[in-house]
Structure 1
């Protein structure tokens, strides 16, 4: 039997639990950084059973937005088998076990047991073009946040610092334009990304800002077995809360999942609610049912992502007649 490693990933740290053949654990905490990854690699080489190679290790972590991705890539490049699973699967596994030990170390141990018992499918690393696009999209987001912060400062700035702020804004504008050009070039240079971008441009509501984000966050659409899998990945599945005798109360969407993908769909869903016939019809139907505005927007984000999946998976441009009658 091979060893299983459960990794509870957060922004700053990695809580890991190595489960050996005898059912015993070795636990440790590492920084969620390049130095932390190197330390984890060294620790594994020390504590794996004698004669066991890294390639025989199976690592399991939850999909946690973008926090898990650098570690998953690092381990994958080392030849380690990596599984990135929906947090809901692990939550149900813990509930069935009845352990209920909600600590970071407890979570990593549960992930190690889940890995051994469920043998989840292996994670598919993004292609080089997608990796480059992910880095550029993240950089663009950071630059735009920096620009907004500087613009906010300028509104209330003393005259003595306004020239400095204007200079910084000009520099940021230039850098943002350069990164946008790199994004366009990266998509144009990759035939798969270019083809997917052309398909996404056929969907009303999606534009030059959102399409690179979708290409970066979704990657190869075939890695999702169904539209429901992609919806869950984007944390747009409805959450059901149970408390005492009050069952099946809807409580919005799940917090776990790829928050950047979810965020990227918010404004496009509002635009699609006016200009995309399939989404607009859905919007009006929900409005006629007196659904709250926030519920309508989230439902249309769900609908728009389902359209994105259908267009990408079928490799067929958007056709309103194909999606207008769908309930999702």
Structure 2
């Protein structure tokens, strides 16, 4: 067997190539992150039988994607390792605190030889695209939360009473009013007919003159300050929020055809829709990477961390949180949704609550149960069927 460990970086990749019988006397070489560099690597591997070559890389940020895509398209046997895993292996193997690109490439190859990991299959193009889009959407949602918090802070200064009048200060008609009248002082002086028309149009007739009067009366008694700077920032943040919501909607439209192509059983889970289903599908990827549900739980960081030394045993077991944070977050949201949409999971959640567990702990148990269900669905390619139906 031939082992190739590759330590990836932005401009170049360090490699360690060795054969099974003479592993410690392998060769180090460096390739550029370019077509010439990739061609040089192929030339180095051309002397060996492709079926006997095992290649190991760290999944470090995005720097490994170009090279791994190139090698997978040529049907090489690729194995990905978590950087944390290789770091622990390097520290366990040697007491010397040595870390260089050459050392990392050597230990990746050594870890590859020591483990019997499953090779990564050439992932479907659609799944790679889906992961890119879902992670981008996750970033947009995070920015949306920050903007909403900023808008609430602005309103606390210029019109704090608005939140008690409107159930949702981010509803369409409220935002339209604030864009034109971004303070209590401006709303108090607003023309009632104009204010009513804005509310009526934005709410599609659900609210009109009565709501306009209520908002204006509250503005006239408001303790809010009249600050042109805060009002300006309020308008700018509202416009940014609207643009972000438009972007998220466009991302969902881009995701829909990819979901149709993948046709994953995950989308049959109650409560899982366009918002969270694609993230689950993309982050799990090829289920064949996981030998059993425990491996999938560990990948999501939902496996319990164990503390034991001699006769000491910890009675408290928390999540390891060592895996994909994207997958873990998606599983928690899906767990919350399935408790609202499936009787079996709702009963399981209530059972954990009755045992004295807090909401978050009970939801963690639901997420673990759901992960095992997802593993079964993907392995058997079956749709979800409720046990109470």
Q: TM-score, normalised by structure 2?
A: 0.64
Partner of 2:298: 232
Contact residue 65 and residue 257 of structure 1 kept, 8 A: no
Counterpart position of 2:78: 82
Residues 121-153 of structure 1: CA distance to partner in whole angstroms, max 9, x if unpaired? 211132011122112212212222233333333
| 2:318 aligned counterpart, secondary structure | strand
Distance 1:28 1:53, change over 3 A: same
Which residue among 145, 148, 154 is the counterpart of 1:148? 145
Cα distance in 1 for residues equivalent to 2:99 and 2:381: 41
Aligned twin of 2:277: 211
Match of 1:186 in 2: 258
Kept in 1, the 8 Å contact 2:266–2:281? The answer is no
Say which structure is richer in strand. 1
Query: Structure 1 residues 38, 241: closer, same or farther in 2, change over 3 A?
Result: farther
Alignment correspondent of 1:262: 328
Residue equivalent to 2:18: 20
Matched residues in 2 for 1:285 and 1:234: separation? 24
- In structure 2, relative to structure 1, the CA distance for the partners of 1:259 and 1:223 (3 Å cut) is same
1:200 aligns with 2:261: no
Change (3 A) 1:101 1:28: farther
What are the superposed Cα offsets for residues 244-278 of structure 1, whole Å, 9 maximum, x if unpaired?
Answer: 65246654222322221111111221233343223
Q: CA deviation at 1:14?
A: 9.3
Q: Which residue of 2 aligns with 1:33?
A: none
Tell me how far apart the structure 2 counterparts of residues 108 and 236 of structure 1 sit (CA, whole Å). Answer: 30
User: What's the TM-score once normalised by structure 1's chain length?
Assistant: 0.74
Deviates most, 158-167 or 253-262: 158-167
Mapping of residues 48-59 of structure 1, within 5 Å: 48=44, 51=47, 57-59=53-55
Is the contact between residue 8 and residue 64 of structure 2 (CA under 8 Å) also seen in structure 1? Answer: no
Please list the CA deviations of residues 82-138 of structure 1 after superposition, one character each: whole Å capped at 9, or x if unmatched.
11257898689779x754667655665433212124353211132011122112212
- The answer to whether the 8 A contact 1:82-1:123 is kept is yes
User: CA offset at residue 67 of structure 1?
Assistant: 8.0
Distance in 2 between residues matched to 1:69 and 1:38, nearest whole Å: 13
What is the SS of the residue equivalent to 2:306?
Answer: strand
Q: CA deviation at 1:292?
A: 3.9
Q: CA offset at residue 181 of structure 1?
A: 0.8
Which secondary structure state, in structure 2, belongs to the residue aligned with residue 167 of structure 1? helix
Larger Rg: 2
How far the C-alpha of 1:234 sits from its partner, in A, is 1.5
User: Residues 151 and 42 (structure 1 numbering): CA distance in 2 closer, same or farther, change over 3 Å?
Assistant: same
1:136 to 133, 153, 166: 133
| Count of residues paired in the alignment | 309
In the alignment, structure 2 segments of 5+ residues that lack a partner are: 155-229
1:93–1:155 distance in 2 versus 1, CA, 3 Å: closer
Q: In 2, Cα distance between the equivalents of 1:16 and 1:278? A: 52
Tell me which residue corresponds to 1:111: 108
Report the counterpart of residue 4 of structure 1 in structure 2.
Answer: 4
What SS class does the counterpart of residue 20 from structure 1 fall into?
strand
Tell me how far 1:155 sits from its aligned partner.
Answer: 3.4
Using a 3 Å threshold, how does the CA distance of structure 1 residues 89 and 282 change in structure 2: closer, same or farther?
farther
Name the SS of the counterpart of 2:269 in structure 1. coil
1:203-254 Cα deviation digits (max 9, x unpaired)? 2242321111112112333443322222222222212133465246654222
RMSD: 4.1
Relative to structure 1, is the Cα distance of residues 104 and 258 closer, same or farther in structure 2, using a 3 angstrom cutoff? farther
Cα distance between partner residues in 1 of 2:372 and 2:365: 11
Task: Please state how far the C-alpha of 1:176 moved relative to its aligned partner.
Answer: 1.7
Alignment of 1:61-80 (within 5 A): 61=57, 72-77=68-73, 80=76
Mark the runs of 5 or more structure 1 residues left unpaired by the alignment: 31-35
Which whole-Å CA distance do the structure 2 matches of 1:247 and 1:236 have between them?
20
Q: Deviations over 1:33-84 (max 9, x none)?
A: xxx7439946974995894699875322456798866654354246543112
